[in-house]
Amino acid sequence: MFYLFLFAAGSSVGFLSGLLGIGGGIVMFPLLHYLTPALGFDAIDVRSITGLTMIQGFCASASAMLFYNKHRLVNKSLVFSLGGALFLSSLTGALLSERMPDEPLLLIFGLLALIAAVMMFMPRSYANDYLTEDQVTFNRGIAIAIGIALGVFLGMVGQGGAFIIIPIMLYILKVPLRVAVGSMLAIGIFSSGAGLAGKVVTGQVPFLMAGAMLLGAIPFARVGGYVGKKTNTRILKWLLALIIAGTAIKIMMDIV
């Protein structure tokens, strides 16, 4: 039953990955942290959860990204500038997290989610959300600086970072929503790939549990991408905002 639960978790979070561009950590982390013991299963330690979210985020991002790239919604320049900056700094954070206690890791995750939630409830224009990646411009220097600054913290908490990077792309870099989603999936391969490498090297990935999750996450990520392409961007924005806000509130309440 435990592995069936992991399969269901991977399927549902994989769908959200494709729908909203999130690698799954913002949902998978609290789902594994809170729901596992609530269902009567043995609790999973935070380090293992961060390893699971990293490997799920990497594989689901890769699966859904192929769909978005086919529809010209992945901006390569944004991917390599922001994603490249995230890669090394995220790897550094993952290696540093090996000996950190659970509480600081949870606090960092909660603060990042809270910042992202505040950003997502700010008003924005939807006028350019129909644009494809070849019609998008952004400040590359700012993108690289953001990647360097955030990567260390994201690597520590086992996150690809979509929950905070998508708001930054929308509100700071002014990227249209669907291009932000598609590009974030590709960026997630950089950031979660680097963090995943650090987690694997330090023995923080329980591969048997990860296998059950990935059986559901990989196919359902492509289904989520198809649904996201057909969904109004206002709905996608508010759904993402609610998910981030709910997670941030829950984590911060537990910390307090």
Rounded Cα distance between 15 and 228, Å, is 10
> In this structure, what DSSP letter does residue 13 have?
H
Residue 149 phi, psi dihedral angles, 5° rounding: -70, -40
Residue 41 phi, psi dihedral angles, 5° rounding: -85, 160
Answering whether pTM is above 0.75, one says yes
Rounded Cα distance between 66 and 71, Å, is 9
Rounded Cα distance between 256 and 111, Å, is 12
Q: Which residue is listed with tokens 């941030």?
A: 248
List the structure tokens of 63.
């699966």
Residue pLDDT, tens place only, 52-64: 888 888 888 888 8
Confidence category of residue 253, pLDDT binned at 50, 70, 90: confident
Residue pLDDT, tens place only, 128-140: 888 889 999 899 9
Domain residue ranges of the chain, discontinuous segments joined by +: 2-255
Residue pLDDT, tens place only, 155-201: 787 666 778 888 999 999 999 999 999 998 888 777 667 667 777 88
Residue pLDDT, tens place only, 196-226: 777 788 888 888 898 998 999 889 988 998 8
3-state helix, strand, coil in the chain (%, to 5): 80, 0, 20
